[in-house]
Structure 1
Amino acid sequence: MKKVVLLFVVGSFLVSCSATKTKQTAKKTADVSKYVNSISETNLSKNLYVIASDEMEGRNTGEPGQKKAGQYIIDRYKELGILNPPGSVDYYQKVPSEFMKKGFAPKLNDSENIWAFIPGAEKPEEIVVISAHYDHIGMKNGEVYNGADDDGSGTVAVMEIAKAFQQAKKEGFPPKRSILFLHVTGEEHGLHGSRYYSENPLFPLSNTVVDINIDMIGRRDSINGHKENGKYVYVIGSDRLSSELHTINEEMNQKYVGLNLDYKYNDRKDPERIYFRSDHYNFAKKGVPAIFYFNGTHEDYHGANDTPDKIEYDLLAMRTKLAFSVAWEIANRENKIVVDKDGK
């Protein structure tokens, strides 16, 4: 009898220890700052010197240089083990020339959006989109317009954000919601790629939680005091559809990054109408909360001197970290962010 009792006690103890261990494992939480700080100036620079190289011939929509840049992007996703999304054939969403026809503008060749995907572990049907356009304006009179800032900077930021999410996933912290990394085409000719996706979404827009859009975040402008202090980013659209999105951005910035958040171009009376001039707008006008990060224009905007050596990689990394931390929070919070504004 004593032997049986002893076995029962030992067995109970082991079961209790196992349950405690399971409970402790379940409580394990990600060190978000670790993944924020995994975003690397070195890696951003390495990728940008390729994306914005002369070899890519300015990445004009549908032309060989853009397609070569697109293949480079895809190869990096493959190296990371990040697949194309379920329901797609490959990493391309084809955007036909006819769709991009606009008035008397020159006809564009067929082109492609590029997408990659990390599935959500708990709410896989809810989608966080992180977008940037990878096209630029090509060549003029034999001179390459590299587009390092516009929007090579956003392109490599999305790639670096994907790397951070994939690292977290491999270490046991996949996002609760799915992440769609979306590199869109044809922005310079009329926001064509994002318009095509918004009209032909792979996942229902009703399930799309947010679009985090990154377009020019590698340099600084020379107004509003930013010439002297580059630790800022223009934030556009964050409060148009969701008060929570706006609050999350401010909280994540305070917690992880410490940039000066400048809302100059979010003014409803902004004469430059920046809110309407990048790819987030095609999501916002469909009712999807959107936030747009931007460093403002500079003397090399749409010029031949927008080259990788002009990028301030410390600023590019800080702005990328902000976009990542906001994406992380929205992907992992319990409830979807609310849509409580009319978009105006």
Structure 2
Amino acid sequence: MKKLLVFALTASLVACGAHQKDVDNADPMKYAETITPSDLKERVYIFASDEFEGRETGEPGQKKAAEYLKEQYKKFDIPSALGGDDYFQEVPKSYFRGDTKASENVVAFIKGSEKPEEILVISSHYDHVGMDKDGNVFNGADDDASGTMGVVEIAQAFSKAVKDGYTPKRSILFLNNTGEEKGLVGSKFYTDNPIFPLEETVANLNIDMIGRIDPDHEGNDNYIYLIGSDKLSTELHELSEEVNSKYMNLDLDYTYNDENDPNRFYYRSDHYNFAKNNVPVIFYFNGVHADYHKITDTPDKINYEALSKRAQLVFLTAWEIANRDERLVVDKAE
């Protein structure tokens, strides 16, 4: 019943826009370019402000952050994945260790025009680590306000395309996870209790820290680390490379994709819970820096040009996955 309601709501979103057009004739770069440094800067300064108290899972600041995300999706006319006005997938306290309180993933959904049963998930985690005992706020501007505001801007870009009549062929779930800092808990809850079947989930594009320049790329804002793109689907890796070459020409750095890399980042963000279920993934990452999990991870240190280019790349990759004729083939097993 919930799925039928969601599909009906999303159909009304399409109906409110222009007459449905052939999405193959659309120019995705037109919509990618709506993801601008100035818009991202405005959003990151809000989301990584002291008002949200470090967005610790289960705490008031995280609840405020969830409400902010809900209001953005409503503003874009993107319905909940759950139907009605409920954008929150509740994650019960039983999923968390210690005294962490119950929390919620934020879920918004655009129904596909031709293959609505096939789902592309675009994700980030919106929680961070809260405040210290002296009341200092860990703002988490890069980790992961950068990725979460990237998802919000990507959602808005797809919404603009829908309103112009270019609805994606496949459905898109915008999934803002809670509890990543508590052990990838929100994404584990989603994959244990998927709103849409995992066997119909064609890929997960996960964005976790894309706003900074790491020491190995000092002076270069034209790179991004990709992790996991070739682990399950050769086609996904090739598609990712082709989209980048056609539109963005970022330096795609696969250093952390190496099975022998001691950092093991492939296993350390929300995409991994999808990969464990044989859903092809790409993890977008700017690398480590000295402000990681410190009170100095603040919005003034974000490179908004880099953030914009990286979010545009994710949008364009998502556009291609959502609109290609055939779903991605999984030719490797996790």
Q: Does 1:66 align with 2:66?
A: no
Counterpart pick for 1:48 among 36, 44, 65: 44
Aligned-partner Cα distance in 2 for 1:309–1:297: 17
Deviations 1:252-287 (A, max 9, x none): 111111110000000000101100000000000011
- Relative to structure 1, the CA distance from residue 333 to residue 28 in structure 2 (aligned partners, 3 Å threshold; closer, same or farther) is closer
Aligned-partner Cα distance in 2 for 1:278–1:28: 33
Deviations 1:56-97 (A, max 9, x none): 000000100011011111111111111102557710000011
Contact 1:137 1:188 in 2 (8 A): yes
Moved over 3 A (4+): 25-28, 86-89
Secondary structure of the structure 1 residue equivalent to 2:215: coil
Aligned-partner Cα distance in 2 for 1:112–1:282: 17
Unaligned runs of 5+ in 1: 1-24
Contact 2:147 2:210 in 1 (8 A): yes
Residue 176 of structure 2 is matched in structure 1 by: 183
Query: TM-score when scaled to structure 1?
Result: 0.89
Unaligned runs of 5+ in 2: 1-20
Task: Report the Cα offset of residue 326 of structure 1.
Answer: 0.5
Residue 333 of structure 1 is matched in structure 2 by: 324
**Which of structures 1 and 2 has the bigger CA Rg?**
1
Residue 103 of structure 2 is matched in structure 1 by: 111
Residue 273 of structure 1 is matched in structure 2 by: 264
Secondary structure of the structure 1 residue equivalent to 2:104: strand
Contact 1:130 1:179 in 2 (8 A): yes
Alignment-mate amino acid for residue 67 of structure 1: K
Alignment-mate amino acid for residue 284 of structure 1: A
Alignment-mate amino acid for residue 273 of structure 2: N
- Relative to structure 1, the CA distance from residue 265 to residue 41 in structure 2 (aligned partners, 3 Å threshold; closer, same or farther) is same
Q: Does 1:163 align with 2:159?
A: no
Aligned-partner Cα distance in 2 for 1:26–1:45: 33
- Relative to structure 1, the CA distance from residue 162 to residue 27 in structure 2 (aligned partners, 3 Å threshold; closer, same or farther) is closer
- Relative to structure 1, the CA distance from residue 86 to residue 262 in structure 2 (aligned partners, 3 Å threshold; closer, same or farther) is same
Q: Does 1:138 align with 2:130?
A: yes
Aligned-partner Cα distance in 1 for 2:184–2:71: 25
Which residues in structure 2 correspond to 1:59-98 (within 5 Å)? 59-86=55-82, 90-98=86-94
Q: Does 1:254 align with 2:250?
A: no
Quote the sequence identity (%): 57
Contact 2:266 2:272 in 1 (8 A): yes
Residue 8 of structure 1 is matched in structure 2 by: none
Q: Does 1:194 align with 2:190?
A: no
Aligned-partner Cα distance in 2 for 1:339–1:310: 38
Contact 1:100 1:192 in 2 (8 A): yes
Which residues in structure 2 correspond to 1:19-58 (within 5 Å)? 29-58=25-54
What RMSD, in angstroms, separates the aligned Cα atoms of the two structures?
1.3
Deviations 1:292-338 (A, max 9, x none): 00001101000001011110000000000110011000000000011
Residue 5 of structure 1 is matched in structure 2 by: none
Task: Name the stretch that deviates more: 154-163 or 226-235.
Answer: 226-235
Aligned-partner Cα distance in 1 for 2:100–2:278: 29
Query: TM-score when scaled to structure 2?
Result: 0.92
Secondary structure of the structure 2 residue equivalent to 1:139: coil
Alignment-mate amino acid for residue 214 of structure 1: I
Aligned-partner Cα distance in 1 for 2:191–2:77: 26
Secondary structure of the structure 1 residue equivalent to 2:211: coil
- Relative to structure 1, the CA distance from residue 238 to residue 128 in structure 2 (aligned partners, 3 Å threshold; closer, same or farther) is same
Aligned-partner Cα distance in 1 for 2:245–2:84: 38
Task: Report the Cα offset of residue 32 of structure 1.
Answer: 1.3
Secondary structure of the structure 1 residue equivalent to 2:237: helix
Contact 1:115 1:180 in 2 (8 A): yes
Residue 121 of structure 2 is matched in structure 1 by: 129
Aligned-partner Cα distance in 2 for 1:87–1:303: 38
Deviations 1:109-135 (A, max 9, x none): 110000001110011010000000000
